[in-house]
Amino acid sequence: MSKVIAVSNQKGGVGKTTTCFSLSASLVEMGFRVLVVDLDPQSNLTLAAGLDYDELDKTLVDLLDSHSQNSAVASEQFIHQTSLKGLDILASDPRLARVERDLYEQNEYENRLSKAISPLKNIYDFIVLDCPPTLSSLTLIAFYAADEILIPVQCEYYAAKGLDLLLTIISTMEKRRNQTIPWHLVVTLFDPRNKIHRTVYDQLQYNFSDHLLETFIRMDTKLRECPIVGEPITVYAPNTRASEQYRQLAQEINQRVK
Ligand SMILES: Nc1ncnc2c1ncn2[C@@H]1O[C@H](COP(=O)(O)OP(=O)(O)OP(=O)(O)O)[C@@H](O)[C@H]1O
Ligand SMILES: [Mg+2]
């Protein structure tokens, strides 16, 4: 049975997509079968995986549409392989912006993704969801499908402040699901020479010691180059510090979700 991890933060550009893809590739290196799901109409994860959404016959949009019509569909047919064996993707395309609006009008839409990926849980060890930088219907369906939530956070003043709102949403969702959903913070884009980064890191440790993961991801320009070549960091630059840090994150996540 898969563990489903939603990678989310409504703050833009904090490293959600990079973390989703690099973590998943590291889990594949450990021998796990992993599916990544692109829940962002910007389709950054799809592009980072080297796919062109204009050339894809089916994406997550078609899977969610077919579930809204209550038709029995084989979810596997919507999946694409990436260049990394063992890492598959449910891709996104810009039509997802329409789905984001339409979902609000539909009854019990919160469980739409959970139902759609349910048959896939027998195939993969991990399903990792890349959420958009909004607290929209797409983030909500990810939270309702998730066993765990991973929150990439940058050690900047506003980024840490924005956590309050996200944690309130998670707590409301937990009450509605009548279930506790473990959540973890991972610091990204960290620069140890930056005094503000060090100060905010200490504050996160003080306020969220049970949730803050030991692994943090430092700034590394190699991570910016990966989407251009359509490969995860562990393939593009396997011997870099960034690759090692994402491998360490995968080990820590695997320990925590057991
Ligand atoms: N550790 C890092 N070091 C250097 N650059 C990074 C790092 N992590 C991510 N980046 C770069 O920062 C930018 C934003 O990262 P990413 O797209 O992963 O963030 P995001 O939270 O998914 O953004 P959005 O909110 O738009 O979905 C990208 O250009 C990415 O390549
Ligand atoms: Mg993103």
Distance 126 CA to ligand 2 centre (A): 19
Give me the pLDDT at residue 69, please.
Answer: 66
pLDDT tens figures, 178-219: 999 999 999 999 999 999 999 999 999 999 999 999 999 999
Dig out the tokens for 50 from the structure: 């080297």
Helix axes 96-103, 60-68, angle to 10 degrees: 30
Ligand lying nearest the CA atom of residue 19: 1
Which residue's CA is the closest to the ligand 1 atom numbered 15?
Answer: 15
Distance 41 CA to ligand 2 centre (A): 10
Report the residue among 9, 10, 11, 17 best suited for mutation to probe ligand 1: largest number of ligand atoms under 8 A from its CB. 17
Ion ligand 2: residues, CB < 5 A: 16-17, 44
Average pLDDT estimate for 138-150: 97
Closest atom of ligand 1 to 190 CA is 1
Give me the pLDDT at residue 215, please.
Answer: 98
Give me the pLDDT at residue 107, please.
Answer: 87
Let me know how many helices (H) and strands (E) the chain has, helices first: 12, 8
Alpha-carbon gap, residue 20 to 26, rounded angstroms: 10
Distance 45 CA to ligand 1 centre (A): 11
Alpha-carbon gap, residue 185 to 183, rounded angstroms: 7
The Cβ of residue 228 has, within 10 Å, a number of other Cβ atoms equal to: 11
The Cβ of residue 54 has, within 10 Å, a number of other Cβ atoms equal to: 7
Distance 133 CA to ligand 2 centre (A): 7
pLDDT tens figures, 33-87: 999 999 999 999 999 999 999 999 999 999 999 876 655 678 889 999 999 999 9
Measured from CB, residues less than 6 Å from any atom of ligand 1 are: 12-18, 40, 44, 133, 188-189, 217, 219-220, 223-224
Alpha-carbon gap, residue 153 to 97, rounded angstroms: 25
Locate the domains of the chain by residue range: 3-257
Report the residue among 10, 14, 18 best suited for mutation to probe ligand 1: largest number of ligand atoms under 8 A from its CB. 18
Give me the pLDDT at residue 71, please.
Answer: 56
Non-local (6+) Cβ contacts of 187 within 8 A are 152, 153, 154, 155, 201, 204, 212, 213, 216, 217
Instruction: Please work out, in degrees rounded to the nearest 5, the angle formed at the alpha carbon of residue 190 by the alpha carbons of 222 and 229.
Output: 20
Closest atom of ligand 1 to 227 CA is 31
Report the residue among 223, 225, 228 best suited for mutation to probe ligand 1: largest number of ligand atoms under 8 A from its CB. 223
Distance 254 CA to ligand 2 centre (A): 22
CATH says 3-257 is which class?
alpha beta
Distance 163 CA to ligand 1 centre (A): 18
Give me the pLDDT at residue 17, please.
Answer: 98
Whether 160 has a pLDDT exceeding 80, the answer reads: no
Distance 114 CA to ligand 1 centre (A): 26
Average pLDDT estimate for 174-180: 94
Rounded to 5 degrees, φ, ψ at 163 are -65, -35
pLDDT tens figures, 83-140: 999 999 999 999 999 999 999 999 889 999 999 999 999 999 999 999 999 999 999 9
